[in-house]
């Protein structure tokens, strides 16, 4: 244990701060989001993330929304495990044959008014998987979608912009 602590002290801090222009953009986007969330959802937006058959690239970027760099919870965005408590469904991946019924049930279990955001190229049009015997293609082929976030995978900043677009539009 002492050896590990000595190594930590020798190494020092290995992280680096965000570039100021990126920090400014994050704060600007999140302040817009915060205003929209206050008006529409009384202060907080609860998201249920659904993986409909993705490669998990988008999920890694979604997890980055909760890290100290983006810290989406400071702007009133929370993730929940239950669709019954969600205001928004954030869906990733092409809808696989095995996930189609589960996605519809999750959509039906989410109380109205609900928003659906499709994150990533696969959620938009099936991406490299397309439509086949195992894949239904994009999310829009199964449930109605309010906003699309393109990219493979989309950056956390693009995710925030897509959430802003969905909340402002809806």
Q: For residue 8, is it within any domain?
A: no
Asked if 87 contacts 45 with a C-beta cutoff of 8 angstroms, the reply is yes
Q: For residue 3, is it within any domain?
A: no
Residue 168 CA: distances (Å) to CA of 58, 89, 115: 23, 15, 11
43 token code pair: 């202060």
Q: For residue 14, is it within any domain?
A: no
Q: For residue 13, is it within any domain?
A: no
Helical pair 156-169 and 57-64, crossing angle rounded to 10 deg: 80
Q: For residue 128, is it within any domain?
A: yes
Q: Tell me, what's the pLDDT at 169? A: 81
User: Which residues of the chain have a pLDDT value below 50?
Assistant: none
Q: For residue 79, is it within any domain?
A: yes
Domain containing 35 equals 22-169
Q: For residue 73, is it within any domain?
A: yes
Q: Tell me, what's the pLDDT at 129? A: 87
Number of structural domains found in the chain: 1
Q: Tell me, what's the pLDDT at 170? A: 63
CATH number at residue 26: 3.40.50.12280
């Amino acid at each position: 244990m002492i050896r590990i602590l000595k190594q930590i002290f020798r190494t020092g801090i290995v992280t680096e701060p965000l570039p100021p222009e990126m920090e400014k953009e994050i704060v600007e986007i999140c302040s817009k989001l915060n205003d929209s969330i206050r008006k529409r959802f009384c202060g907080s937006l609860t998201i249920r993330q659904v993986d409909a058959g993705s490669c998990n690239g988008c999920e890694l970027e979604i997890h980055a929304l909760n890290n100290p760099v983006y810290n989406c919870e400071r702007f009133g965005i929370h993730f929940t495990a239950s669709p019954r408590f969600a205001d928004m469904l954030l869906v990733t991946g092409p809808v696989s044959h095995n996930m189609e019924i589960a996605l519809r049930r999750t959509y039906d279990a989410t109380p109205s008014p609900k928003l659906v955001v499709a994150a990533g190229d696969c959620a938009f049009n099936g991406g490299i998987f397309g439509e086949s015997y195992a894949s239904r293609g994009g999310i829009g082929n199964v449930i109605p979608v309010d906003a699309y976030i393109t990219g493979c995978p989309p950056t956390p900043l693009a995710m925030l912009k897509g959430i802003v677009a969905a909340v402002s539009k809806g």
